[in-house]
């Protein structure tokens, strides 16, 4: 589903060049739950942004669902991102003046779905995250865990093949973090591929594999006790 080969990403200022990713290679198959770990500044979020088509890169090849997205223009990348990828962020990124229903509705309106289809998707997503009774609440009336569930519902409503989660439990206490992780596991069991950046080793162990990133490169592939499809490294010498 996702194949990266020799990906290089450089951030430039007038005086400094920072190599965020160096010949980064990775393969993720459909249905996997992959945890990405590593110290701050190691390139984890840069990888996630490139994988989610939010950022471009200098060189390398990126295949997503069999399509080479390396050289696509912004319009085509945006269409693929909106159709296939859902995002869950540490800060929830909810619109504070909108209630739960409308927060989930916004990206569906952007994609041009008709009202009946949006209603069906929103109801299904909110039922999955257990917030069917909170549709009129605004974010300030919800706990942190509930807000993250709204963010998950917003991602699910688009029916993505792939969910990118950047520290999805980072702003939650331990109980809420476990509940959100259980929800992500349930979503994964239903067939959605999940790539999750986390600093929490206990949460990482619950994924199928832990990919460790250091200095912009994959340095280790740790297999944990949970079972699932294999994550394969991609050699920098791959054709």
CA 156 remoteness from chain centre: 11
| Closest to 161 measured CA to CA, from 187, 123, 131 | 187
* Predicted local distance difference test score (pLDDT) of residue 222: 64
Contact 116, 192 (CB under 8 A): no
* Predicted local distance difference test score (pLDDT) of residue 237: 41
User: Residue 211 and residue 34: Cα distance in Å, rounded?
Assistant: 7
Per DSSP, the three-state class of 186 is helix
Contact 163, 195 (CB under 8 A): yes
Question: Domain 2-223 falls in which CATH fold?
Answer: Rossmann fold (3.40.50)
Q: What is the pLDDT of residues 101-154, one digit of tens each?
A: 999 999 999 899 999 999 999 999 999 999 999 999 999 999 999 999 999 999
* Predicted local distance difference test score (pLDDT) of residue 230: 43
* Predicted local distance difference test score (pLDDT) of residue 221: 66
Contact 212, 37 (CB under 8 A): yes
13-38 per-residue burial string, b: 16 or more CB within 10 A, e: under 16: eeeeeeebbebbbbbbbebbbbbbbb
All residue ranges of the chain with pLDDT < 50 are 224-233, 235-239
Contact 29, 224 (CB under 8 A): no
Q: Which residue has the tokens 């909110």?
A: 126
* Predicted local distance difference test score (pLDDT) of residue 170: 87
CA 237 remoteness from chain centre: 27
Nearest-Å Rg of the Cα atoms of the chain is: 18
Per DSSP, the three-state class of 98 is coil
Contact 218, 42 (CB under 8 A): no
User: Residue 195 and residue 166: Cα distance in Å, rounded?
Assistant: 8
Q: Where are the domains of the chain?
A: 2-223
Q: What is the pLDDT of residues 205-219, one digit of tens each?
A: 999 999 999 999 998
Structure tokens at 4: 């990266």
């Amino acid at each position: 589903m996702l194949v990266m080969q020799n990906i290089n990403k450089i951030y430039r200022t007038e005086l400094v060049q920072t190599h965020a990713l160096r010949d980064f290679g990775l393969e993720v198959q459909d249905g996997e739950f992959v945890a990405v770990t590593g110290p701050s500044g190691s390139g984890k979020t840069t990888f996630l942004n490139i994988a989610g088509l939010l950022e471009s890169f200098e060189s390398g090849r990126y295949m997503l669902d069999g399509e080479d997205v390396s050289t696509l223009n912004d319009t085509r990348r945006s269409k693929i991102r909106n159709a296939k990828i859902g995002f869950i962020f540490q800060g929830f990124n909810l619109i504070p003046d909108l209630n739960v229903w409308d927060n989930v509705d916004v990206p569906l309106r952007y994609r041009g779905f008709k009202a009946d289809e949006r209603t069906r998707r929103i109801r299904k997503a909110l039922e999955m995250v257990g917030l069917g009774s909170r549709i009129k609440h605004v974010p300030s009336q919800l706990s942190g865990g509930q807000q993250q569930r709204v963010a998950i519902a917003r991602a699910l409503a688009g029916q993505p093949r792939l969910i990118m989660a950047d520290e999805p439990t980072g702003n939650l206490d331990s109980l809420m973090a476990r509940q959100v992780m259980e929800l992500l596991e349930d979503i994964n069991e239903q067939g959605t591929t999940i790539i999750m950046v986390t600093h929490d080793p206990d949460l990482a162990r619950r994924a199928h594999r832990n990919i460790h990133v250091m200095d912009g490169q994959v340095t280790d592939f740790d297999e944990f006790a949970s079972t699932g499809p294999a994550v394969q490294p991609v050699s920098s010498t791959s054709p």
